């Protein structure tokens, strides 16, 4: 009896992590869009309710064939309940993101704060709704138990370079669309060193959740690869360093930072851009 309960809790945790990962994978670019913040300042309560209604309707439609749970809903009631849970996850991740980047302030007023959160919750809710469709796949050894006994023949260098290349390309896909914008210096201007450290820790945690805890699939195959950093902690740290370097490269290419700029500006901008680059890199690593 206890074993069943423990398994149920683990399944619930995996589903929750998958929903959070999907929200960040899809919603990160919208998080770095100042127009979303500003529009939220002037969103009326009826419009907020309309946005929430659209987000919920989208989740209902997506939960029919997608959703964030590994087990598909079997009834209309389950679809409605899980859509409400998905909307709650979207609101939670939107709140967490805006708070982390210091984009919401209590002195702005409750209407402006709610407007920003609810406006951003729309793309985040779509990410929750398509979490399974994004990257969920079945382990080869789950599909064919005989493959579980097959040895992994990949050379360590090949596995390492494959993961590093996937992290690099994923970071470029996300980072190149954000690096040229004014959001990076705007966010940086209000952040203290302690907040930058918190962003770094959050980036590492999100990368770990997306690749190793969200249970998007192929977990056994990933853990059995023979790369030099093929351990959850070491791979997460190595991928984050790649994301930081990629973000710094994108900032320099798009003239967000220049040679001769203060070192603290290089560091601050890179850490801020490193958050979405890390999310993109995690998606890239899952895709290979």
pTM over 0.85: no
pLDDT tens per residue, range 58-69: 999 988 877 788
Please indicate whether residue 12 or residue 242 has the higher confidence score (pLDDT): 242
Would you say 250 and 172 are in contact if contact means Cβ atoms under 8 Å apart?
A: yes
Dihedral sign, CA of 54, 60, 63, 64?
A: negative
Return the minimum-mean-pLDDT range out of 74-83, 136-145, 223-232.
136-145
| Percentage of the chain modeled with pLDDT above 70 | 83
Task: Please tell me the predicted confidence (pLDDT) of residue 227.
Answer: 54
**256, pLDDT greater than 50:** yes
Task: Please tell me the predicted confidence (pLDDT) of residue 162.
Answer: 82
d(CA 267, CA 188): 10
User: What integer is the mean pLDDT of 188-215?
Assistant: 89
pLDDT tens per residue, range 257-266: 999 999 999 9
pLDDT category at 143 given cuts 50, 70, 90 is very low
């Amino acid at each position: 009896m206890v074993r069943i309960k423990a398994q149920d809790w683990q399944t619930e945790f995996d589903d929750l992590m998958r929903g959070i990962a999907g929200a960040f994978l899809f919603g990160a670019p919208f998080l770095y869009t100042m127009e979303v913040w500003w529009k939220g300042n002037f969103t009326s309560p009826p419009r907020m309710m309309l946005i929430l209604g659209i987000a919920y309707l989208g989740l209902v439609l997506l939960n029919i064939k997608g959703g964030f749970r590994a087990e598909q809903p079997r009834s209309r009631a389950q679809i409605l309940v899980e859509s409400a849970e998905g909307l709650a996850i979207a609101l939670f991740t939107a709140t967490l993101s805006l708070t982390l980047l210091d984009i919401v302030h209590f002195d702005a007023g409750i209407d402006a704060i709610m407007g920003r959160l609810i406006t951003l919750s729309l793309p985040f809710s779509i990410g929750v709704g398509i979490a399974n469709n994004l990257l969920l796949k079945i382990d080869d050894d789950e599909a064919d138990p005989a493959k579980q006994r097959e040895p992994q023949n990949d050379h360590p260098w090949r596995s390492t370079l494959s993961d590093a290349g996937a992290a690099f390309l994923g970071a470029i896909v996300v980072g190149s669309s954000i690096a040229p914008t004014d959001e990076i210096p705007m966010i940086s201007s209000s952040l203290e060193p302690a907040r930058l450290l918190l962003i770094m820790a959050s980036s590492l945690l999100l990368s770990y959740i997306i690749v190793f805890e969200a249970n998007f699939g192929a977990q056994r195959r990933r853990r059995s690869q023979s790369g030099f950093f093929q351990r959850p902690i070491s791979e997460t740290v190595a991928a984050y360093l790649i994301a930081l370097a990629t973000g710094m490269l994108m900032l320099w290419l798009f003239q967000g930072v220049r040679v001769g700029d203060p070192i603290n500006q290089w560091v601050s901008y890179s850490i801020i851009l490193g958050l979405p680059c890390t999310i993109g890199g995690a998606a890239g690593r899952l895709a290979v």
